[in-house]
Amino acid sequence: MKPNPIIDPQTLSIDLGSKTEAQLFRWFLASLLFGKPIQQTIARRAYHTLIAADITSIDKLAKIDWDTLVRLLDQAHYVRYDFSTATKLIQIATQLKTKYGSLSQLLQYACNTHKLEAQLLAFNGIGPTTTRIFMQSIGPLWFEQTAPHDYESAIHAAAILRRHKFTAYIIGGAVRDLWLGTPPKDFDLVTDATPKHIMGLREFTHAQYHDTSQAYGVTRVQFVHKGNPSTLEIATFRKDIDAHHGRRATKITFASLEDDVLRRDFTINALAYDPATGFVIDYVNGINDLEHRLIRFIGNPIIRIHEDPLRLMRAVRFKNQLGFDYHPDTVKAIQTAVSTGVIETIAIDRLRDELTRLLIHPSRHKAFRELDTYGILARVLPEVTAGKGVRQPPQLHAEGDVWQHELLTLHNLPPHPSTQLAWAALLHDIGKAPTKREPRQKHDRIRFDRHYAVGAELATTLLRRLRFSTRDTRNIVWMIYHHLSIDDLPNMRPSHQQHMLGHPAFQDLLELHRADAAASWRSGETRHRKPAFRAIERLWHHYQTSTPEIRQPSLKRDIGIDGNWLLTRFAHEFDLTNRSVIGTVLRALDNWYRDEGVTDEQAYIERTRQLLIQHDTPKLVI
């Protein structure tokens, strides 16, 4: 993991070498505070403020009153994140205390850095940045330093192939990342061994390969390394024959390492590392492009793009996520290819996945601005670019048109949002363009009547076009529909509050609300004015810390009132053959229970009779 050059335990007077629970907690708290995208001086002030208030253990953090914690964070000017941070600090402390008891027990249970990383990321509220900060100083002191498990596994698999007289190289993005000093996400091997040869080795067993579009020539194997099961993709050296759009219809033949390298997209992704010698093999001047931080296609860029148009999107992703620049030939090729409409031939599932990779990365704001600049976005998501030039009321949106607001909303998301949150942020205002209404009177303003509902309908069509899952579509559309009504949450009836707070996407909706508000610059106000989220966050904190019975009261569970109860007491009095009436009455009773907390059964009998009469339910003639 790359070290954080700014925060260090010693600068905060934390003695991790003592290995005491008190010092561990201080470092854990600092990691949580510094893990936010906030000025380091403010994070440092917040840390010292909380320690001075005697919040010096997991137990004390778990027990502190939420309002008190918010006040302390406010004192430290940790303003933009005080509500959400207070909620997550208490939530994380409570989870850690319940599951492990202490940080010392967490480390003891982890055994090694790989398990510790997984355990930290499993907490709701701990992201990659916080994990990296915490582990950069904990790892060397608590655990034996080893290479990443995936790297060791790749080296081990290469050694197996060499023992059987085959060559084997680590190739692609892993070599690029190792050269840049960043942890690779995965490791791929290439070899001169054919799939038949590979599966003939006793050390390997076959693992199912899911990507049928490129399965030929790629063998997914399972093997055991240091007592742990490992899975790895091993590709036989390949050469394309008659490459087609998206590579789906591309035929391949087994070839040499050089042929395999030359079929790849960018020079920086075409380096091969020989574990046996420690040398990097470079046929395409990729090392030079890494040193100069350039994105350059291998060979003729136009041919490369037409072989697989998704490479247009990948160029934008690598350029922005790595912080590189384009080679001049890359720029010309992108402009030429987009004008031909080749982008529209990308398979829907691949396009969706590539857009998602762009959205969930911290560079999303720059990447989507670039997609727009090159005309790519208008071809793949015209509903989004429809917001360009759509003016907003300057009293509420001094930042500019709808498109500028959409970009700023993306910018203000957490660094690593969920897929559903990222897409909801991108699409939350696509209903504004078709609903815009100019001022009708002198003191009126531009309005977007029911744009949340129209946007939800447009998003449903768009997400289905991109073949999102039913669950993703449902949650994203729900956030878009409610991205304004969440403002009214504190004033809603308890039944409505419980329905909204209990929705599986509410946590993401809250983050969308925060980003949306931060992206709305009001005329005459400070740009980063603190939104009034305290009441909403307090409700959310109370909901999370309540028992399931309090979170979601149940008329059936708590009082025993359900369809059978209704039929037993009223079937002799009313004609209840219309089952929709029964459902409507039960929902009304349930909301009454949630809102008023009535527990007297006689009151429900009288209320039910009134509701049945209101619904014109026929009375039985005896």
Q: What is the CATH number of the domain that holds 359?
A: 1.10.110.30
Both tokens of 438, joined, read 């100019």
Indicate if 404 and 521 belong to the same structural domain: yes
pLDDT value of position 27: 94
Both tokens of 234, joined, read 């091993």
pLDDT value of position 213: 38
Q: Is residue 134 part of a domain?
A: yes
Cα separations in angstroms, 268 against 314, 449, 569: 12, 49, 75
- Count of alpha carbons within 13 angstroms of residue 5, beta-carbon side: 0
Angle between helical axes of 66-75 and 40-52 (0-180°, round to 10):
130
Cα separations in angstroms, 28 against 16, 34, 93, 126, 299: 11, 10, 10, 11, 49
Last residue of a domain, one of 85, 111, 142: 142
Q: Is residue 190 part of a domain?
A: yes
CB 312 within 8 A of CB 334: yes
Indicate if 242 and 355 belong to the same structural domain: no
Indicate if 33 and 131 belong to the same structural domain: yes
pTM: 0.82
Number of domains in the chain: 5
Indicate if 431 and 478 belong to the same structural domain: yes
| Torsion sign (Cα): 392, 398, 400, 403 | negative
The low-confidence residues of the chain, meaning pLDDT below 70, are 1-6, 79-82, 144-149, 207-216, 242-250, 521-532, 619-622
Q: Is residue 621 part of a domain?
A: no
Indicate if 342 and 418 belong to the same structural domain: no
- Count of alpha carbons within 13 angstroms of residue 234, beta-carbon side: 34
pLDDT value of position 577: 84
pLDDT value of position 3: 37
Q: CA 543 to CA 190: how far, in whole Å? A: 52
Kindly give, in sequence order, each residue whose CB lies less than 8 Å from that of residue 229, ignoring residues fewer than 6 positions away. 222, 223
> Pairing state of beta strands 228-236 and 188-191?
parallel
Indicate if 400 and 542 belong to the same structural domain: yes
Q: Is residue 2 part of a domain?
A: no
Q: Is residue 1 part of a domain?
A: no
Indicate if 33 and 112 belong to the same structural domain: yes
Kindly give, in sequence order, each residue whose CB lies less than 8 Å from that of residue 127, ignoring residues fewer than 6 positions away. 35, 121, 414, 415, 416
Q: Cβ-count burial of 50 within 10 angstroms (0-12 exposed, 13-18 middle, 19+ buried)?
A: buried
Last residue of a domain, one of 115, 142, 169: 142
Range of the domain at 107: 9-142
Q: CA 353 to CA 218: how far, in whole Å? A: 21
pLDDT value of position 528: 44
Q: At residue 205, what are phi and psi to the nearest 5 degrees? A: -120, 155
Q: Is residue 341 part of a domain?
A: yes
* Full DSSP string of 403-452: HHHHHHHHHTS-SS--HHHHHHHHHTTTTHHHHEE---STT---EETTHH
Q: CA 214 to CA 72: how far, in whole Å? A: 55
Closest CA to 411 of 432, 428, 426, 400: 426
Last residue of a domain, one of 531, 549, 567: 549
Q: CA 244 to CA 100: how far, in whole Å? A: 54
pLDDT value of position 211: 46
CB 541 within 8 A of CB 84: no
If DSSP codes are grouped into helix, strand and coil, which group holds residue 19? coil
Tell me, what CATH number does 246's domain have? 3.30.460.10
CB 465 within 8 A of CB 348: yes
Q: CA 234 to CA 195: how far, in whole Å? A: 8
pLDDT value of position 67: 87
Largest pairwise CA distance in the chain: 96
pLDDT value of position 523: 55
